[in-house]
Amino acid sequence: MTTILEQPADLLDLVGQSLGTTEWITVTQQQVDLFANATGDRQWIHTDAERAAKGPFKGTIAHGYLTLSLTPTVIAQVLEIRELTAALNYGLNRVRFPAPLRVGSQVRAAVTVASAQQKTSGVESVFKLTYEIDGETRPACVADVIVLYP
């Protein structure tokens, strides 16, 4: 379910509230390979399926930053702001990758409005994202993501 707001200032009333959980997203080897090519991070645990099968994770895993880069998609699944000029990635307060996200696994994110403040530059919101892996007890990623709505 998507939370629909008229304007970014409406986030000020949602501090501490869950915006919901996204649909499951399957992480593919093609996504991981494209990310590796884009970033230059071609470490074998991400890109060499044969070697990774014998490694610590018994297969290739997604880059932690690939998981984090799903943030715009994740937020868009749970939040729609009708009168929106822009949504700018402003930064991160805290990011952790507690568990590996194996290629072929499904991941979804729970999104909560951790804080929202009216600033001269716009509404600055911090979203707490917890990326859950289907069938696993530990999340792939937990992040406090800052978005600025000018």
The pLDDT value given to residue 6 = 98
Please give the pLDDT value at position 1.
79
Phi, psi of 11 (to 5 degrees): -65, -25
Separation of alpha carbons 145 and 147, rounded Å: 7
**Number of domains forming the structure of the chain:** 1
Q: Output phi, psi for 124, to 5 deg.
A: -105, 115
Q: Residue 44 — very low, low, confident or very high, per pLDDT cuts 50/70/90?
A: very high
Output the six-digit token pair for 59.
């297969």
Q: Let me know: does 109 contact 22? Beta carbons within 8 Å.
A: yes
> Domain range for residue 77?
3-149
CATH number, residue 45 = 3.10.129.10
Residues 95-129 pLDDT 10s: 999 999 999 999 999 999 999 999 999 999 999 99
